[in-house]
Structure 1
Amino acid sequence: MSRHDLGHPALPEERRRDVRRAVRLEVVSLGYLLTCVAVVAATMGNSQAMKAAWIEDLLSLIPPTAFLVAVRVARKPPDPEHPYGHHRSVATGHLVAAVALLTMGLYLLYDNVTKLVTAEHPSIGTVQLLGVTFWQGWLMVAAMVYTGVGPVILGRLKLPLAERLHDKVLHADADMNKADWMTAGGAVLGVIGIGLGLWWADAVAALAISVSVLRDGWRNVRHAVDALVDARAHTVDDTEPHPLNEAARQRLAELDWVREVGIRVRDQGHVFHLEAFVVPHQEQVGVAQLEGAAHLLEELDWKIHDVVVTVVSELPEGKVFVTRGDNRS
């Protein structure tokens, strides 16, 4: 039973404001990233590090696009074909972004290791601008500064929103944005290395960027797959089980008619589906008691969307997380 009647939850006003702000940030991110792609493409020359940075900028377009699509799809109400709603669109978007990251990380790793082994010597020439001739590397460095500063600011703005909305696509995007300064810094070192005659510096910098992309891709694929195969609900950064797992168990264990309780919490995207299995002290449990228990769980947090409370004679072995009641008679 659920206060939402298995429908789309009405977000608190504060969370609705967070969604609107997140959408605006992602639209700004897409516009900014498109300019970054154009700037780097116009200045990268023969630098492998610049090429890797350009490809990463292209990849950075995927998470904000996935977020905007997922938010729109998640608003759809449940229907007979989708009785749980469309909240899993968030997890699907997370997986799409993660697979793209992992694939490109593998490609960049192979490409740059090959360049390093074959000892390719990239060169950076000169350009003429407004009647002044200068080394093209300075244009490359300026492009990397432009592409490195913006994402750091955007990432810091997105991260708290991702945590409050429990949106893993937004969180992955914020992580990528925050790490972009490393990509830009690596590319700058590679370009300067070429200017100093260190041909290998460019390939090494590009290799470091590819390892960063590969690491982010693998971590996000693993977490996205866990969510889709109904792993226990975790925090938005997937570092630990979500506190609502324990909070829900404790809330029901405090009821005087509860002897044992087991909880299953499934991450549906922005919201959780919670199943509670209760072993009561007495044989008869009324509808009012079950409705009261469900209401207590729903009051814990807006993310608890669908709640099912079931009375059982014993807890299903190995399928729930157990908290003992007070054994009050």
Structure 2
Amino acid sequence: MEIYSNLRAGEKGAWLSIGTYIFLSAMKLIVGYLGASAALKADGLNNTTDIVASIAVLIGLRISQKPPDRVHRYGHLRAETIASLIASFIMMVVGLQVLSTSIRGMFAPIQEAPSSLTAVVALFSAAIMYVVYRYNLALADKINSSAVRAAAYDNRSDALVSIGTAIGILAAIFGFPIIDIITALLVGLIIIKTAIEIFWEAVVTLTDGFDTEETETLRKLIAGVEGVIQITDLKGRSHGNMNFIDVTVTVNPYLNVIESHKISDQIEATVQHFNPYCIALVHIEPHFIPSATDSP
């Protein structure tokens, strides 16, 4: 199926992120330690959490490619969501560690200004992460992968964090060493914020939360299908980058089975035209109009 080939293509983005983060985190931690920059070391720790998150995405993509079986009738598409949930916990722990180290540093700041090399490394890292962001975003658009798109946005936030780190380091070099520690504090907060966002998105997906705007759009499209008189129920849930829609519509009660089935097929085609990665499960009911004798 096309969805599984897309998941395999999405692994390229995960591998690119993993390789880039391993290289950058090692460089930042080493240079940050030798160059006495708390902000660069915090940024390096941030990238270590990104390695874990990218590995989680990779594992999730691998498991998601398993076809449906006797136990998992809908397949294993939610595996990447579970992996993201686990990664969010790891990111939270690292973010709290960076915060703790930064707060202790504010009460006993090191007066030594960081090396100018640390600022160069931060800016170099920002440029690299922006290139990775553009690649993963293009890949996500091509294969319509929400997981790869989330990884791309994480790449972009890391580029912004590195720019902020460079600014803090330059301020410390020019005589404001406390700015370097404050920047490390902000990096810790960004790590925690990202962890909370990933956690919340995963929880919403796993508890069958669904985008209300997309629901209303689908409602209007389905209502416009010829033969549909009324939509009595419409709900959806997400499995990875696939959406499953359950819709109940009423039709003319005097239609035969073949005519009703054609309406069902048209609804499914309309939904897939709107979103190729959306499957509609349609239930047809006869439309009942109360007569005067039905009134109490």
Q: Same fold (TM over 0.5)?
A: yes
- Which secondary structure state, in structure 2, belongs to the residue aligned with residue 241 of structure 1? helix
Bigger mean CA offset, 52-61 vs 27-36: 27-36
* Equivalent position of 2:30 in the other structure: 42
Match for residue 269 of structure 1 among 231, 240, 257: 240
* Equivalent position of 1:308 in the other structure: 281
Match for residue 148 of structure 1 among 123, 126, 140: 126
Cα deviation for residue 144 of structure 1 reads 1.6
Relative to structure 1, the CA distance from residue 280 to residue 212 in structure 2 (aligned partners, 3 Å threshold; closer, same or farther) is: same
The answer to whether structure 1 residue 121 and structure 2 residue 83 are counterparts is no
The answer to whether structure 1 residue 217 and structure 2 residue 195 are counterparts is yes
Q: How many residues align?
A: 282
Cα deviation for residue 122 of structure 1 reads 4.8
Cα deviation for residue 111 of structure 1 reads 2.9
Contact in 2 for aligned 1:105/1:211 (Cα 8 Å): yes
**For residues 164 and 264 of structure 1, what CA distance do their matches in structure 2 show?**
27
Relative to structure 1, the CA distance from residue 256 to residue 176 in structure 2 (aligned partners, 3 Å threshold; closer, same or farther) is: closer
Contact in 2 for aligned 1:109/1:210 (Cα 8 Å): yes
Structure 2 gaps of 5+ residues are 289-296
1:174-202: CA deviation from partner (whole Å, max 9, x where unpaired): 11211223322232233333333323111
**For residues 91 and 283 of structure 1, what CA distance do their matches in structure 2 show?**
45
* Equivalent position of 1:6 in the other structure: none
- Which secondary structure state, in structure 1, belongs to the residue aligned with residue 229 of structure 2? strand
Relative to structure 1, the CA distance from residue 60 to residue 88 in structure 2 (aligned partners, 3 Å threshold; closer, same or farther) is: same
- State how 1:1-329 maps to structure 2 within 5 Å: 10-11=1-2, 16=5, 19=7, 21-45=9-33, 46-116=36-106, 118-124=107-113, 137-163=115-141, 165-232=143-210, 234=211, 241-242=213-214, 245-261=215-231, 262-282=233-253, 286=257, 289-290=260-261, 292-294=263-265, 296-298=267-269, 299-300=272-273, 301-305=275-279, 307-312=280-285
Instruction: From the two aligned structures, give the one with the greater helix fraction.
Output: 2
**For residues 254 and 73 of structure 1, what CA distance do their matches in structure 2 show?**
38
Contact in 1 for aligned 2:235/2:247 (Cα 8 Å): yes
Identity %: 19
The amino acid that maps onto 2:69 is D
* Equivalent position of 1:130 in the other structure: none
Per the normalisation by structure 2, the TM-score is 0.83
Cα deviation for residue 257 of structure 1 reads 3.6
Contact in 2 for aligned 1:49/1:190 (Cα 8 Å): yes
Which structure has the higher relative contact order (CA within 8 Å, separation 6+)?
1
1:103-161: CA deviation from partner (whole Å, max 9, x where unpaired): 33333233323322x1322525xxxxxxxxxxx71322232233221111111221243
- Which secondary structure state, in structure 2, belongs to the residue aligned with residue 174 of structure 1? helix
- Which secondary structure state, in structure 1, belongs to the residue aligned with residue 2 of structure 2? coil
**For residues 23 and 203 of structure 1, what CA distance do their matches in structure 2 show?**
36
Cα deviation for residue 275 of structure 1 reads 0.7
Bigger mean CA offset, 187-196 vs 56-65: 187-196
Relative to structure 1, the CA distance from residue 287 to residue 93 in structure 2 (aligned partners, 3 Å threshold; closer, same or farther) is: farther
Contact in 2 for aligned 1:186/1:206 (Cα 8 Å): no
Relative to structure 1, the CA distance from residue 285 to residue 214 in structure 2 (aligned partners, 3 Å threshold; closer, same or farther) is: farther
**For residues 200 and 226 of structure 2, what CA distance do their matches in structure 1 show?**
41
* Equivalent position of 1:324 in the other structure: none
RMSD value, Cα: 2.8
1:243-293: CA deviation from partner (whole Å, max 9, x where unpaired): xx3443234323444321132121111111111111233166525523641
The amino acid that maps onto 1:156 is R
- Which secondary structure state, in structure 2, belongs to the residue aligned with residue 277 of structure 1? strand
Relative to structure 1, the CA distance from residue 295 to residue 66 in structure 2 (aligned partners, 3 Å threshold; closer, same or farther) is: farther
**For residues 72 and 238 of structure 2, what CA distance do their matches in structure 1 show?**
16
- Which secondary structure state, in structure 1, belongs to the residue aligned with residue 57 of structure 2? helix
Contact in 2 for aligned 1:158/1:171 (Cα 8 Å): yes
Per the normalisation by structure 1, the TM-score is 0.75
- Which secondary structure state, in structure 2, belongs to the residue aligned with residue 263 of structure 1? strand
- Which secondary structure state, in structure 1, belongs to the residue aligned with residue 240 of structure 2? coil
1:299-326: CA deviation from partner (whole Å, max 9, x where unpaired): 4232123x322234799xxxxxxxxxxx
**For residues 93 and 162 of structure 2, what CA distance do their matches in structure 1 show?**
21
- Which secondary structure state, in structure 1, belongs to the residue aligned with residue 66 of structure 2? coil
